[in-house]
Amino acid sequence: MVQSVLGSLILGYRPLWNRTRKLAGIQLYAHNEASATVDGGHLLRTLQELWSASSPPLLISAQTRQLLCDLLENAPRAAPWIEVRGEWLSDSAIYDRVKAAHQRGLRMVWRGDMDKLPEPEIARCFDNSLLTLRPEDAVAALQATPPRPGSAAAAAAPVAKRTPSPVLAGQMYENIASRALMEHCLDQGSAMALAGWPTEDVLYSLRHHPQQPSHAVIFKLMKAIDDEQSLETFEDIMGEDPLLAYRFMVYTNSAALGLRTGIDSLRRGLVMMGYSSIKRWLSDQLPHASTEANMQPVREAMVIRAQLTARLLDAGIENDLRREIYLCGLLSQLDELLGEPLGTILKRLPLSERIYDATVLRTGPYTGGLQMACALETDDASAIRQLCETFEMDLEEVNRALLRVLSDLEVERK
């Protein structure tokens, strides 16, 4: 039996977000040990088997030169985008392979700093770029942003021509830590996508407005109830918003409902309340619900973490446990949304101790899956390797779980 390439690689991921704040694709980090030579063609065939027409487009970011060389040599024309780091082009082996790959129609993405763009001859080989703005570029971009209409800044702004923005339309950007710069890149600069999201600054900018569940998710759930869809569908939709799930469980456990036993899962709450009561409660939430587009990637990233936690710990377990593990992942970042300690938040609910142990104490049977789900959101191969050793997780199984979750994500295609 041929050993799977997934046992020789350490994978990680980062979502790519577009102008509508929806998932546009996935950056897949692929790292191989110095001692292991990995067959890039085998990796591409494995991805092709797992990916469907509705799966997100992929940008493969090889973390070693050997793997990049192998991908450039073996990738067919229809392969996912292959990233090439700008500084690696000084290596003649990579430079020559890039030119040859371009000749056969491979789509490549140049990655590097704005001030180190490649010379025209090699730049022609790339379909797109993943750029990092220097601090002075970021300042120039923000100065080029027109003030919001009606603001004091707009009233005081001179009519003089504004300096042009350094942001190049149609390209991808990374390491964007500020909400204002993110909005400039996507909304004024017409960037194709951002790799990662300035979650911390988005949440900070909304600190004076208490976080509310998503208007779109509440509306979707109300429509599903109207359409008399299944209980599983209701549970899945409610699980698309960590705050809605939390609020629902707080409500089902409130004295107002007077239920004799604690509600420790979304499904149990849905069954105990009845659909007309759920719809009434949702109608009460709707007027205050959030329509803040910048929160969409924040919520969606939390949902991906929950899906990954459940998949990593899924060893043929029963549905109730799988739902509990999903809830563990979903609620693990509530402190960021609510601005108070996670332990305090979770103590309001009669949840399984396993959830509290994993999210707050970092102990118990779910902690390995949750910590691994967090580590896979990075390109930190050593942290992923260490977690595999600590929790005796099989690297191939971890990678397979990651790819299954990512391939199941859906993107809107124009």
In the chain, how long is the greatest CA-to-CA distance? 73
**Dist CA 282 CA 222 (whole Å):** 7
**Dist CA 12 CA 73 (whole Å):** 22
**Dist CA 414 CA 14 (whole Å):** 22
Q: What is the pTM of this model?
A: 0.92
- The token pair at 103 is 């000749």
Could you read off the pLDDT tens digit of each residue along the chain, which spans 414 residues?
A: 345 889 999 999 999 999 999 999 999 999 997 677 788 889 999 999 999 989 999 999 999 999 999 999 999 998 999 999 999 999 999 999 999 999 999 999 999 999 899 999 999 999 999 999 999 999 999 888 776 655 544 544 554 456 788 999 999 999 999 999 999 999 999 999 999 999 999 999 999 889 999 999 999 999 999 999 999 999 999 999 999 999 999 999 987 677 667 889 999 999 988 888 999 999 999 999 999 999 999 999 999 999 999 999 975 667 778 899 999 999 999 999 999 999 999 999 999 999 999 999 999 999 999 999 999 999 999 999 999 999 999 999 999 999 999 999 988 876
- The token pair at 283 is 């109608």
Residues sharing a CB contact under 8 Å with residue 205, sequence separation 6 or more, in sequence order: 179
Residues sharing a CB contact under 8 Å with residue 50, sequence separation 6 or more, in sequence order: 403, 404, 407
**Dist CA 334 CA 355 (whole Å):** 13
Helix 65-74 / helix 40-50 crossing angle, nearest 10 deg: 70
Which residues on neighbouring strands pair with residue 11, listed in sequence order?
30
